Amino acid sequence: MKHSLTAVALVALAAAAVVPALADGSDSGHRPPAAIDWHACTDADFQQMQCGSIRVPVDWAHPGGDTLTLALVRRPADDRAHRAGTLLLNDGAGGSSIEQLRLAMHIGLPKFAGDMTQKFDLVAVDPRGVGHSTPILCDGPLKPAGVSHFPKDQAAFDALVSNNRAVADDCLRRNGKLPAHVDLTSTARDFEAVRTGLGEQQLNWYGIHYSTLLGRTYANLYPGRLRSMVLDTALDDTASPVQRITAEATTAEAAFDRFAAWCAASNDCALHGKDAAAEYDALVARADRTPVPTGSAAHQPLTGEDIREATQDFLTLSGLAWPELAKAIVAAQGGNAGAFTHDPDDTLDPAQVQVQVPACLDTPRPVNSFAELARLQQDLAKVSPHLGGAVRLYKAVTGCLGWPTAATPVGAGAPVKGAPPALVVQSTHQALAPFQSGAAMAAQLPGSVVLGREGDDYSMFLLSPCVQAATNRYLTTLALPSAGTVCTD
């Protein structure tokens, strides 16, 4: 999400990435389960914590082949006498869970966490291809100047496909087999190796956005291995990709409308007294004519399309991100669009390849021609007049056109046998996922309950005492709130 602790977007951090390399598998056959190599963390943000690594196969179908390194950080439970187990913290797609733990520490964890930090070891694992684990590193931007995710003719469509294929070829050349094995199933198998390495009979799962799908995949592959599941801002992959893109575009557009209404009512909005939606539309149109500089040699000037594509993440948290969006619009009107290049959740992946590559494996390819994409663009313009449908799933799908590795999406929709009843926490208004996505996820995990939270935010444990109380009660007792409960704080 880019996804979990956007509430701390204003905290400026410089994180040094540890870049493990792939190791050749000189042995053959089955490799026994690896142990986690633990040591005291030397990072000042992780004092009194343990840092670790574990090696897993790049291709789980060939466990004797090449390996990669998963990086972990463990924060031991404060009340060791009443320790209840291990809680895995999982970020959104392409995001470093370790860096999100760092951000949580900066905003006061464990002061507000209660039983979560008192009774559970917190373990953050960067997934394969991401962050401090063996990362996917590619050269150049995913979408250089002159390439559009919204091509207007066949030539522009061909340029997009050609660019995507060149990006994929570069990623494969630089990273070997790894880019073909960062799918949900391979990643879920890694977490079983982590469970074994931790010596736990069962794990507790805390997943946000993409990691709600990862948790469901793990539960399906390893029945009975999860004691509990807290799923924040669940995604619904039971519908077709086009239906999912349309739903995401619709909910993001509704969030933008709520942002514009807030601007009209609040003096905290830098656009207060103006028509925020009209100001935004004018900026987008102007930037499409003449791209706006970013004030940095590291980023090319931004088109209106670029600004639209960056807007969704500003809409995910009303209290902090909405004021920043208004300021970003005003700054861009003044000739500096740099604020639209900042992505606080993908702290170790400024190019966002660690988001894009897994998406090309996990997402079916619903369009294969310019005519099909043009029809989709027309449909999205109807439901998303301001953002134009420039949402994450649309960017993922268009970024995968021409990708040489076939998609291998997991099955979705059927009840998952052996999964625990989950606590699904879903905001009533969210730019990333419609409220009804929570019910779709809960239906796949028998006995699960959707806890609504009135508002526009995700990472709701950070923001809502009501959500904190329900989450801690569930984690410690497995008791779920009554169906239909909505937190209003």
Tell me how far CA of residue 184 lies from CA of 10, 213, 360, 381, in angstroms. Answer: 31, 8, 11, 31
**pLDDT-based confidence at 30, cuts 50/70/90?**
low
User: Do residues 344 and 290 both lie within one domain?
Assistant: yes
* Domain termination site, one of 374, 399, 424: 399
Is the pLDDT score of 346 beyond 70? no
Query: How many whole angstroms separate alpha carbon 132 and alpha carbon 236?
Result: 28
Q: Choose among 365, 465, 479: nearest CA to 422.
A: 479
* Domain termination site, one of 376, 399, 422: 399
User: Do residues 337 and 419 both lie within one domain?
Assistant: no
350 preceded by a cis bond (ω within 30 of 0): no
Query: How many whole angstroms separate alpha carbon 431 and alpha carbon 254?
Result: 8
Domain membership of residue 405 (yes or no) is: no
Residue 20 has what pLDDT? 44
Across the range 455-471, mean pLDDT stands at 93
> Alpha helices of 369-464 — where are they, by DSSP H?
370-383, 392-399, 436-444
User: Do residues 220 and 105 both lie within one domain?
Assistant: yes
Is the pLDDT score of 120 beyond 90? yes
Domain membership of residue 474 (yes or no) is: yes
Across the range 105-131, mean pLDDT stands at 95
Is the pLDDT score of 287 beyond 90? yes
Q: Which two tokens stand for residue 134?
A: 């063996």
Domain membership of residue 70 (yes or no) is: yes
Give the least confident one: 17-26, 177-186, 225-234. Answer: 17-26
Residue 91 has what pLDDT? 84
Q: Hey, is 452 helix, strand or coil?
A: strand
Domain membership of residue 145 (yes or no) is: no
Residue 140 has what pLDDT? 79
User: Do residues 419 and 478 both lie within one domain?
Assistant: yes
Across the range 361-374, mean pLDDT stands at 96
User: Do residues 171 and 62 both lie within one domain?
Assistant: no
Please count the structural domains in the chain: 2
What are the pLDDT digits (tens) for 153-182? 999 999 999 999 999 999 999 999 999 999
User: Do residues 318 and 342 both lie within one domain?
Assistant: yes
Domain membership of residue 44 (yes or no) is: yes
CB 468 within 8 A of CB 114: yes
User: Do residues 220 and 340 both lie within one domain?
Assistant: no
Q: Which two tokens stand for residue 250?
A: 């619709």
Domain membership of residue 346 (yes or no) is: yes
Domain span holding position 375? 154-177+239-399
User: Do residues 208 and 72 both lie within one domain?
Assistant: yes
What are the pLDDT digits (tens) for 318-340? 998 999 999 999 999 999 999 99
Residue 343 has what pLDDT? 65
Is the pLDDT score of 18 beyond 70? no
The percent of residues in the chain predicted with pLDDT above 70, rounded, is: 91
What are the pLDDT digits (tens) for 254-267? 999 999 999 999 99
CATH code of the domain containing 213: 3.40.50.1820
Is the pLDDT score of 40 beyond 50? yes
What are the pLDDT digits (tens) for 177-208? 999 999 999 999 999 999 999 999 999 999 99
* Domain termination site, one of 343, 369, 399: 399
User: Do residues 317 and 373 both lie within one domain?
Assistant: yes
On average, the pLDDT of the chain sits at 91
E-only strand ranges, 114-155: 120-125
What are the pLDDT digits (tens) for 61-84? 999 999 999 999 999 999 999 999
User: Do residues 292 and 352 both lie within one domain?
Assistant: yes
The percent of residues in the chain predicted with pLDDT above 90, rounded, is: 85
Domain membership of residue 140 (yes or no) is: no
Strands across the sheet with 203-208, in order? 37-40, 50-57, 67-75, 120-125, 85-90, 203-208, 226-232, 423-427, 449-453, 486-487
User: Do residues 205 and 243 both lie within one domain?
Assistant: no
**pLDDT-based confidence at 487, cuts 50/70/90?**
very high
One-character DSSP codes across 213-243: HHHHHHHHHSTT-EEEEEEES----SS-HHH
Domain membership of residue 341 (yes or no) is: yes
User: Do residues 353 and 278 both lie within one domain?
Assistant: yes
Residue 15 has what pLDDT? 35
Across the range 276-305, mean pLDDT stands at 96
Residue 94 has what pLDDT? 79
